[in-house]
Structure formats: structure tokens, C-alpha cells
């Protein structure tokens, strides 16, 4: 089964919690045991599982990546000014795969699924969910 989420982002960089939307698709799928792959289409965004307790960890992720991969110094910046976004997306990666057990995401209390925007804001990011398993 495959579903696509449309996610709007409101800043150049940020982590956007999509756990509820992913969980809703898993519940609607009627898959009891299996896997869900969460994949963002685009070369300047990523998907990450991260702590959800407060947003300090998400801000720390953005701060770490900004210090490690600063804007404006990359060869690709000569084309469209987003060389850092490509590098950050490549480092984070475009997808995660999460087990499904008893019809629910098998994440811990403190884990949520985040769309990582590195080249926004965007009116639409496509996040493709591919589910497989047994009912």
C-alpha cells in the first residue's frame, strides 16, 4: 500500500512533526504486523526520527547542521544558492523504516517522525508512505 502526504513548510529550515499523519495512515491500512517506509521526495529535505518531548532537540539538530554545513560556501551555491541544503539532506537521508506491531508504529514514548526542511519554505513537500505487512 502506498499513500502520499502533502506537507507545507514555513521556514527555510526546520523539523516538522509528521507522526500523527503517519500513524493515521498506518491505522487506516489495517496492517497488523509489518513495516512502513517514510520517504520524502526532493533533494533538499530529509526524514528523521527524533525526540518529541520539547522542541529544543529539534532546534539543536538545525543548529548543529548549520554549524557543520554553513550556507554560502559550496560550489553548488553558484547555481541556486542551496548547496548547504543538499548536503544536509544527504547527511540526514530521505527515509526511515519503522516497524508496525499490533497495528501501530513501534516507536518509543520519546520518538516521533520528522520531515526535515532545509530549503524552504515550501507550499508542498511530498512524503511517500509505503506499507507492507499482514492484517
Percentage, residues of the chain above pLDDT 90: 96
How distant is the alpha carbon of residue 49 from its chain centre?
Answer: 8
Closest CA to 12 of 126, 91, 90, 88: 88
**Mean pLDDT value across residues 15-25:** 98
* 52-98 pLDDT tens trace: 898 999 999 999 999 999 999 999 999 999 999 999 999 999 999 99
pTM of the model: 0.96
Number of neighbouring beta carbons within 10 Å of residue 64 = 11
pLDDT band at 103 (very low <50, low <70, confident <90, very high): very high
Name all domains of the chain by residue range, CATH numbers in brackets: 2-134 (2.60.120.460)
Amino acid at each position: 500500500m502506498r499513500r502520499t502526504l502533502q506537507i507545507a513548510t514555513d521556514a527555510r529550515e526546520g523539523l516538522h512533526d509528521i507522526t500523527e499523519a503517519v500513524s493515521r495512515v498506518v491505522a487506516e491500512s489495517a496492517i497488523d504486523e509489518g513495516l512502513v517506509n517514510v520517504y520524502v521526495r526532493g533533494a533538499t529535505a530529509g526524514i528523521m526520527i527524533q525526540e518529541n518531548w520539547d522542541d529544543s532537540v529539534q532546534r539543536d539538530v538545525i543548529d548543529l547542521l548549520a554549524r557543520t554545513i554553513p550556507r554560502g560556501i559550496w560550489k553548488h551555491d553558484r547555481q541556486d544558492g542551496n548547496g548547504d541544503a543538499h548536503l544536509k539532506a544527504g547527511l540526514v537521508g530521505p527515509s526511515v523504516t519503522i516497524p508496525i506491531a499490533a497495528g501501530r508504529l513501534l516507536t518509543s514514548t520519546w520518538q516521533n517522525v520528522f520531515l526535515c526542511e532545509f530549503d524552504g519554505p515550501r507550499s508542498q513537500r511530498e512524503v511517500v508512505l509505503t506499507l507492507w505487512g499482514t492484517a
